[in-house]
């Protein structure tokens, strides 16, 4: 599942890079929780929680249905 998540995250990174940010995959747990670290402009952005849930999580879950949630670490 990690490989699928990494491929989905690459799609997200393109969008984040347009605003000077990025995301790094930290862990995919056995129970389907994806942990990412927001970097660059996304790391300190006040909208990062919305980006995480409405952007990153939505796209990853669409590409990898086994994923239950995405969390920032």
pLDDT band of 35, cuts 50, 70, 90: very high
Domain layout of the chain by residue ranges? 2-72
Chain segment 39-50, per-residue pLDDT in tens:
999 888 888 889
pLDDT band of 38, cuts 50, 70, 90: very high
On average, the pLDDT of the chain sits at: 93
Can you spell out the DSSP letters for the chain? Answer: -HHHHHHHHHHHHHHHHTTTEEEEEEEE-TTSEEEEEEEETTTT-TTHHHIIIIIIIHHHHHH-TT--EEEE-
Does the domain formed by 2-72 have CATH 3.30.300.130?
yes
Q: What is the pTM of this model?
A: 0.90
């Amino acid at each position: 599942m990690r490989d699928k998540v990494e491929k989905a995250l690459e799609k997200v990174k393109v969008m984040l890079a347009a605003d000077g940010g990025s995301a790094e995959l930290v862990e995919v747990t056995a129970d389907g929780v994806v942990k990412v670290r927001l970097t660059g402009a996304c790391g300190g952005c006040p909208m990062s929680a919305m980006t995480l849930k409405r952007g990153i999580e939505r796209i990853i879950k669409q590409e990898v249905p086994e994923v239950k949630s995405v969390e920032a670490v």
